[in-house]
């Protein structure tokens, strides 16, 4: 039986949420958790139905690569929660496109894969910065910057994060989509205020990148980033409370992704010089979490 299988990593935004939409750099890292897509030949008489997003990805591939797609069924296995800031929709698109390319014996460069995933993201979320697509496709540490319709992607390594371990702590799934969050920001804040905050996030991200290149990791940047995201209005009360309690233990934290305000804000990226203090905090409060590193 003919099969094809592909895996795509999730991602964490270390810095640059929202500011990446306005031409500033974003720093994003791939994580080991992700999405696997498996294609197999359909059984005779088998009827397969997919959701709107999956159908869009399949039809997009068929149109752009001149293929008739009707002879397979697919299975998706994921340990990435949806609407949690970990790039689940980009990872689904990336894994599915790679599996389709394998099925039809196409060779796709990472740049081409990124462009396709980004277009699928734009369909799913409206105006997408491209950060999620860059993070899941290229993996590792990635600096992403978009000017007009041109994007630049740089992968790099830094020894100063080699032995640093972080926790991703779940504040609860966001009720809002990324598109809705962008609309909420523009509705709540004057444009001048939005751009002031955006520029500060962009400058902070540039400082973060410069420090990492110099072999310096200053966790205070996470705290400063969190304060700006709260000011922007994308961090809900639940996440704010969790982050405040983390800071009281001597730790540093921020949301990663679009956030959310009505209920959860997705996953929180947290760091402490003593990881056991964070783990005990999570255990005491019965939060879902998992450990990650950026090497």
- Spatial CA neighbour of 11 closest among 90, 67, 78: 90
* Across 200-227, average pLDDT: 96
> Do 220 and 88 belong together in one domain?
no
Domain that holds residue 73: 3-156
CATH label of the domain that carries residue 179: 3.30.70.890
> Do 151 and 21 belong together in one domain?
yes
More confident site: 204 or 192: 204
> Do 181 and 109 belong together in one domain?
no
- Which of the listed residues 90, 122, 156 is the one where a domain comes to its end? 156
- Which of the listed residues 115, 132, 156 is the one where a domain comes to its end? 156
- Spatial CA neighbour of 10 closest among 36, 32, 26, 27: 32
Mapped onto helix, strand or coil, the DSSP state of residue 93 is helix
> Do 139 and 254 belong together in one domain?
no
Q: Pairing state of beta strands 72-78 and 26-41?
A: antiparallel
What pLDDT, on the 0 to 100 scale, is given for residue 47? 64
Q: Return mean pLDDT, the chain.
A: 90
Helix pair 220-232, 237-248: axis angle to 10 deg: 160
Residue spans of beta strands (DSSP E) within 16-134: 26-41, 72-78
- Answer yes or no: are the C-beta atoms of 273 and 155 closer than 8 Å: no
Provide DSSP, 13-70. Answer: EEE-TTGGGGT--EEEEEEEEEEEEEEEEPPTT------HHHHHHHHHHHHHHT----
Confidence of residue 83 (pLDDT cuts 50, 70, 90): low
* Across 134-150, average pLDDT: 87
Q: Please report, rounded to a whole number, the percentage of residues in the chain having pLDDT higher than 70.
A: 97
More confident site: 255 or 293: 255
> Do 135 and 19 belong together in one domain?
yes
- Spatial CA neighbour of 28 closest among 86, 83, 113: 86
> Do 138 and 183 belong together in one domain?
no
> Do 92 and 12 belong together in one domain?
yes
pTM (predicted TM-score): 0.88
- Which of the listed residues 128, 156, 184 is the one where a domain comes to its end? 156
pLDDT at 107 exceeding the cut of 70: yes
* Across 78-82, average pLDDT: 82
More confident site: 82 or 123: 123
CATH label of the domain that carries residue 67: 3.30.230.10
- Answer yes or no: are the C-beta atoms of 286 and 160 closer than 8 Å: no
Number of domains present in the structure of the chain = 2
> Do 186 and 287 belong together in one domain?
yes
29 CB-side CA count, 13 A: 19
What pLDDT, on the 0 to 100 scale, is given for residue 80? 83
> Do 148 and 168 belong together in one domain?
no
């Amino acid at each position: 039986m003919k099969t094809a299988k592909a895996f795509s990593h999730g991602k964490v935004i270390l810095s640059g949420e929202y500011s990446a939409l306005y031409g500033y750099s974003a720093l994003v890292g791939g994580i080991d958790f992700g999405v696997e897509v498996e294609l197999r030949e359909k059984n005779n008489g088998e009827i397969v139905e997919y959701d709107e997003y999956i159908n869009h990805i399949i039809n997009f591939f068929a149109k752009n690569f001149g293929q008739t797609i009707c002879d397979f069924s697919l299975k998706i296995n994921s340990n990435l929660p949806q609407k949690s800031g970990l790039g689940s929709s980009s990872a689904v698109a990336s894994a599915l496109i790679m599996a389709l390319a394998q099925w039809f014996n196409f060779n796709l460069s990472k740049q081409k894969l990124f462009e396709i995933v980004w277009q699928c993201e734009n369909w799913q979320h409206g105006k997408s910065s491209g950060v999620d697509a860059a993070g899941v496709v290229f993996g590792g540490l990635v600096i992403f910057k978009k000017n007009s319709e041109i994007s630049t992607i740089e992968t790099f390594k830094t020894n100063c994060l080699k032995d640093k371990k972080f926790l991703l702590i779940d504040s609860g799934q966001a009720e809002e989509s990324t598109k809705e969050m962008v609309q909420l920001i523009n509705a709540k804040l004057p444009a001048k205020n939005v751009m002031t905050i955006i520029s500060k996030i962009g400058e902070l991200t540039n400082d973060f990148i410069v420090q990492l290149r110099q072999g310096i990791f200053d966790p205070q940047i996470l705290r400063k980033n969190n304060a700006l995201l709260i000011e922007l209005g994308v961090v809900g009360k639940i996440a704010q409370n969790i982050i405040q309690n983390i800071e009281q233990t001597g730790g540093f934290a921020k949301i990663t992704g679009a956030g959310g305000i009505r209920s959860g804000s997705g996953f929180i990226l947290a760091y402490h010089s003593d990881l056991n203090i964070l783990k005990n905090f999570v255990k005491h409060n019965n939060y879902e979490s998992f450990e990650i590193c950026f090497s």
